Amino acid sequence: MKRTRVKRSGQMTAKEYVWSQIRELKTFTISHISSNAPLSYKLSKEKVNYHIKGWVAAGFLGKECIHSKDILQPKNRYTLIKDTGIEPPRVDSKGNKLTKGLGREQMWRTMRITGEFTHKQLAVTASTEDVIIAEATAKSYVSALYRAGYLKITKPSNTHGGLAVYMLKPAAWTGAKPPMVKRIHVVYDQNIHEIVYPKKGDIQSDY
């Protein structure tokens, strides 16, 4: 199967890198993270601070001001308070919870757990109190993943109103991050950092 390479497989985003360093260090300064980051991330102190201030506001990090005779200007020292795992907390710069993209995550995870499903069943099963998934949204996402080769049809739709039944191909599970469907009808896999649709081949194997 041919795919269009976008980014080296397995490479973290800048935000993911910052969060991984926070989890490793536990206590840190902004300059420590920015100065030790690989050049490819282009992480200035301002960029690191942009990610950190939201986590402080949301209570994931603690912040204290360091005063010392050896330091002309006081520095802020941060401490990890709430470790949410490898995925960075989804908050904005003011600490407000972000729900954008959660619907895709819930559908992607539900596809793997439930086995067979119609788009209507997926919308109901994947919805939560915080994120309600509309049938039209589920139908659009399912159609996109089917075209991209992630899903197979186990039971076709019929003229009597029966909906198509889908199943996630075992070989198509690339990781926890849901494939992204762009406005230009491109499906992008965040786990392997590649465009998987449109493409010449398809994910044919069920392994």
**pLDDT by residue (tens digit) across 58-68?**
999 999 988 77
**Helices 135-148, 102-114: inter-axial angle, 10-degree rounding:** 70
Identify the structural domains of the chain with CATH numbers, from first to last: 1-98 (1.10.10.10), 100-197 (1.10.10)
Q: Is the pLDDT of residue 3 over 70?
A: no
- pLDDT above 90: percentage of residues in the chain: 58
Amino acid of residue 124:
V
Q: Which helix (H) or strand (E) holds 25?
A: helix 14-25
Q: How confident is the model at residue 205, as a pLDDT?
A: 41
How many CB atoms are closer than 10 A to CB 161? 6
Q: What is the pTM of this model?
A: 0.63
Q: Is the pLDDT of residue 207 over 60?
A: no
| Strand pairing report for 61-66 and 4-5 | unpaired
DSSP symbol at 1: -
Q: Is the pLDDT of residue 202 over 50?
A: no
Report which of 133, 132, 139, 136 is spatially closest to residue 157, judged by C-alpha positions. Answer: 139
pLDDT (tens digit per residue) in 50-108: 999 999 999 999 999 887 766 667 789 999 999 999 889 999 989 998 888 899 999 99
| pLDDT band at residue 113 under the 50/70/90 scheme | very high
Q: How confident is the model at residue 6, as a pLDDT?
A: 37
Q: How confident is the model at residue 40, as a pLDDT?
A: 87
Average pLDDT over residues 132-160: 94
